[in-house]
Structure 1
């Protein structure tokens, strides 16, 4: 198998669309800086802010043999090995409601405990069942929903929306025949959670209130896909990118460069045909390195080769 390293959030932008860390200095990422000139661009996937899925999700779905329609990648079905029925993740979340916009808080920053999540789950479950949606507790920050109202539902990646303003079209499931049902459920959950004892306790502890549920990763798998190619998904940049924590993001990138990228560089230098996918918020670029002939090595000296500047195009 060809080693393939996929790095989501290889570039990240803040609320003003400025690079969280414009990595231009070779000494900051020495292994990536040495690896990129050995590679050439093989594929590019564009998926800007109007796309419900992140670019890395589209790439990964294709690699795993999943349906890769935008906003309809069946992550919940894959991760729970559920086949033959539509399903999706229900994520407890915090909506920050302002005078002119609504923002989705970063779920991982909620510090939601299992007892809290189970209490909210038990309160919400009967409402979902009344609408023909089976709800199963899986983990504190994710419950599994199953049923026909999820069929064909376009859902937005939390990586795309966390910490960002949410448009009414996204919030209200515009364009789906079950939009009214989902909007009603959203409203019921907001009212239900508003007076729930879990939020009374969280308010006393000065923690963000759980005031909404978010549907994501919905889709249908008729059968589980065959085993995937050898691909390593490097997720260490995600938390700091979503939190817009520049210092932690720099530290995470340098840690990734020091081991995952360093190992791929060593393989490339041994002549192993390796692949690297760097993904940001706008696009994912896949590069390949293969054993080069003497003539290819010579022509590389005079050709334009990828560099760290590639990160700023993501």
Structure 2
């Protein structure tokens, strides 16, 4: 690692949920994550922020939005305004107007409610998505709206009269009864009407017939979120100037962040998100162990050698976020034995 003044590592869902925490920590101790245990033990008490369990964005999503001036001051009552940034990321011009991200999804019908499942599990192909998109576009245009194709998982809807519509990120709503997370405000009824029409056409679509024939989940709905205008640009006050973010999270950072040369760096990982949302704690443990080797051990070594002056670990679960700040001086607290107890937030 080259010399850096500050490194922040964001690990969404690295904090175990309260109901599983003791069991997961017991297994983690056996799996050996010495770098994480050392960093947590030597860090001062973390800054902890707690969030409403019904927030329309997850703690790490709100934190990223704040870093890059995209939080809108909503404190989780709306999804971050990412649609136009996502369009640019996918090579689409962000035209004037109000744009929303539109994700093809699978809604699971439970006994007395409907649950949004993780779109990562759909394995939607480009060809399938294109066919479904064509059907949806016809219906969208009949309502006087515009639909643009980004990639198999990501489309964009322009609806200028829905500017004040409050939405939720798909990960915030994932696994829950969707009623609480459905769009609310101006355009709410119009969206539900359009959504229902698309759902009815997709119900008898050849794409879903073929998916069900091979025991794949049907694509039976769309998730609307991230409303933004083209004029909205990230305006960070103290954002890191070098960013290494996976594609799902890179949309928060302004263009050019990844190549800027400076001594403040942000690295984020999305490896723990899917296992946590699915409740697959075996996979979660495997991924956390991988992060120990890929990111945490090198960061500890950089602190010890003086190549890094300060490390900030930003860890979260679905209702809390903790920031641990560790310096080289922090590591001199030899009496603080390596421990994972501070993960119990």
2:188 maps to 1:179: yes
| Equivalent position of 2:137 in the other structure | 125
Q: Relative to 1, partners in 2 of residues 1:112 and 1:211: Cα closer, same or farther, differing over 3 Å?
A: same
3-state SS, counterpart of residue 23 of structure 1:
helix
Instruction: Give the whole-Å Cα distance in 2 for the aligned partners of 1:223 and 1:139.
Output: 22
- Inter-partner Cα distance in structure 2 for 1:40 and 1:73: 31
SS of the aligned residue for 1:281 comes to: coil
CA contact (8 A) 1:90 1:215 kept: yes
1:30 maps onto 2:34 in alignment: yes
More displaced 10-residue stretch of structure 1: 61-70 or 91-100: 61-70
**How much has 1:116 moved relative to structure 2?**
0.7
| Post-superposition CA distance 1:168-210 (Å, at most 9, x none) | 2423x33x02111011012111111111111111121111111
2-structure distance, mates of 1:288, 1:169: 35
The alpha-carbon deviation at position 112 of structure 1 amounts to 0.9
CA distance in 2, matches of 1:306, 1:285: 18
Aligned equivalent of 2:107, options 95, 113, 117: 95
TM-fit CA distance, 1:305: 9.2
Which residue pairs with 2:128 in the alignment? 116
SS in 1 for 2:344: helix
Contact 1:72 1:219 in 2 (8 A): no
Residue correspondence of structure 1 range 143-222 to structure 2 within 5 A: 143-166=155-178, 168-171=179-182, 173-174=183-184, 176-220=185-229, 222=231
1:75 maps to 82
Distance of 1:297 and 1:158 partners within structure 2: 39
Q: Which deviates the most, 70-79 or 31-40?
A: 70-79
Partner of 2:344: 312
Alignment of structure 1 residues 133-144 onto 2, 5 Å: 133-144=145-156
Which stretches in structure 2 are left out of the alignment for 5+ residues? 89-93, 241-264
2:281 to 237, 243, 246: 246
1:125-171 deviation line (CA, Å, top 9, x unaligned) = 122223343211111111122231441222212222223332x2423
Query: Deviation digits for residues 215-264 of structure 1, max 9, x if unmatched?
Result: 12223453432684021111111222222222211110100011211122
For 2:113 and 2:33, locate their aligned partners in 1 and report how far apart those are by CA, in whole Å: 37
The question of whether the paired residues in 2 share the 8 Å contact of 1:112 and 1:141 is answered with: yes
Alignment of 1:282-301 (within 5 A): 282-292=319-329, 300=333
| 1:17-56 Cα distance to aligned partner (Å, 9 max, x none) | 5459622454532110011123224533322321011000
The aligned counterpart of 2:9 is 5
Q: Say if 2:41 and 2:342, in contact at 8 Å, map to a contact too.
A: no
- Kindly provide the CA deviation profile for residues 66-119 of structure 1, in whole angstroms up to 9, marking residues without a partner as x: 234322311222222347532221111111112212111221111211111000
Q: 1:274 aligns with which of 297, 308, 311?
A: 311
Task: Say whether the 8 Å CA contact 1:47–1:53 is kept in structure 2.
Answer: no
214-223 or 139-148, larger mean C-alpha shift: 214-223
**8 Å contact kept, 1:72–1:152:** no
Asked if the contact 1:132/1:148 (under 8 Å) is kept, the reply is: no
- Tell me the number of residue pairs that the alignment of Structure 1 and Structure 2 aligns: 303
Question: 1:307: Cα distance to partner?
Answer: 4.6
> Are the counterparts in 2 of residues 86 and 220 from structure 1 also a CA contact under 8 Å?
yes
SS in 1 for 2:312: strand
User: By how many angstroms is 1:212 displaced?
Assistant: 0.7
Give yes or no for contact 1:6–1:277 (8 Å, CA) kept in 2.
yes
**Residues 125 and 11 of structure 1: CA distance in aligned 2, closer, same or farther (over 3 Å):** same
- 1:273: Cα distance to partner? 1.2
Q: Higher mean Cα deviation, 242-251 or 48-57?
A: 242-251
Distance 2:235 2:298 in 1: 27
Separation in structure 1 between the aligned mates of residue 39 and residue 334 of structure 2, nearest angstrom: 15
Tell which deviates more after alignment, 222-231 or 108-117.
222-231
